[in-house]
Amino acid sequence: MDNRWDGLRAEVRAALDDLVTSGREAGVQVAAYLDGTSIVEEQAGLADTGTGRPMTADTPVHAVSTGKGLTATVVHVLAEQGRLDVDLPLARVWPEFARHGKDGITLRHVLTHTAGLPALPADVTPDDFTDWSRMSALLADAEPLWAPGERLAYHAWTWGWLVGEVVRRVTGRSVSQVLAEEVAGPLGVTRELFLAVPEAELPRLARLEDAGLSALMTWAGANLPHFDAVAPPGVRPDTVIGGRPDVLRAEVPSVGTMSARAAARMYAALLGPVDGVRLVSPDRLRAMSAPAVRAPEWVFGQESTFGLGYAVDDDGSFGTAGSGGSLAFAYPELGLSVAAVRNRLGAGDGDPMERLRLLVRDRVAAELGRG
């Protein structure tokens, strides 16, 4: 690694050690790439506090909605290959989806959370999540809450099946297969970047612990009027559903499992070449990372900005973050990608993974003379 970043690595290492030794975190990973080259790869603590298994750089961690960035990347890689168009009406490849006037919903509406289909039945269960045909049929028969493009509403769970079924209809493969073959494989991270986790890889995963996330979900269900519509009580995104082997093995493309270095490497390959692998063209990068919709969001009530499958931040970055504290973002203007994951899922703790992301961003921007 470039010794110019020795100070940054030491700073990140010290921050991780402090988080772990203070007891705030069990295990943490942080990684960053600059212009296609790894500049930070740090980890600390335990992947499993029950057995004492250490957190290593290649330990996969279930990172909840940070997985949406993996699924979005699959879409754009297929689009780059000319196999998928983001303006494709879903019903063109999925005819039964046209029911209840849904023939005007396009993949762009889904990617930007404006399809009008954020809700799930109140009695949906994790067992349902393991049945792809059931979840796809449920969405094909769903009635939209409003016209496509009319309102921004975070499609917390439904987003993944809507995107994934389009990918399946177009390619004949599951979205996790496409990720493995078209993204993770070329980048050399097939054992660290997952949507559906293969059975043989499950023992390598970090064991999740709850540090306030479940309490936050309970609070959200009681205080946010639309929260239970998008994340019903039986399938709230927490350590319970995220720790179920059957759900981890299933195709649930709104969530993912990854190491920080694999996620940072993937985003780096969206920005430019990584060991000769570039996932999309500069023109497509600009289109997919530009703000596509900015509006008050229906579930959480905050003004939000989305590009084509990714959140877009005011600092020019695009990416995704997950409940409980995980993230992966890219900064096109800096040529930088940053990812951070942890296995003790918290809330109300000052968001230490976000602070680490900003630490890396600010140090890199300053070194490049753009701070």
Return the active site residues. 65
User: Distance between CA 106 and CA 261 in Å, rounded?
Assistant: 33
Helical axes 68-80 vs 282-289, angle rounded to 10°: 140
CB 65 within 8 Å of CB 154: no
The one-letter code for the residue type at 138 is: L
Token pair 């994951």 in the structure block, residue: 341
Query: How far is it, in rounded angstroms, from Cα 68 to Cα 343?
Result: 18
- Yes or no: say if 289 and 319 are a contact pair by the CB < 8 Å rule: no
Question: Is the separation of the CB atoms in 336 and 366 below 8 Å?
Answer: no
- Enumerate residues 6+ apart whose C-beta is below 8 A from 62: 205, 206, 208, 242, 243, 248, 255, 256, 257
What is the C-alpha to C-alpha distance for residues 306 and 294, in angstroms, rounded to an integer?
A: 7
- CA 125 to CA 273: how far, in whole Å? 41
SS3 string, 86-131, reads: CCCEHHHHCHHHHHHHHHHCEHHHHHCCCCCCCCCCCCCCHHHHCC
Determine what percent of the chain falls in helix, strand and coil, rounding each to the nearest 5.
Answer: 45, 20, 40
Q: In what order do the strands lie in the sheet with 326-331?
A: 53-54, 37-48, 27-34, 336-342, 326-331, 318-322, 311-312, 303-306, 293-296
Closest to 166 (Cα-Cα) out of 68, 66, 75: 75
How far is Cα 218 from Cα 261, in angstroms, rounded to an integer? Answer: 32
**Cβ proximity of 31 and 263 under 8 Å:** yes
Ramachandran angles phi, psi of 354, nearest 5°: -65, -40
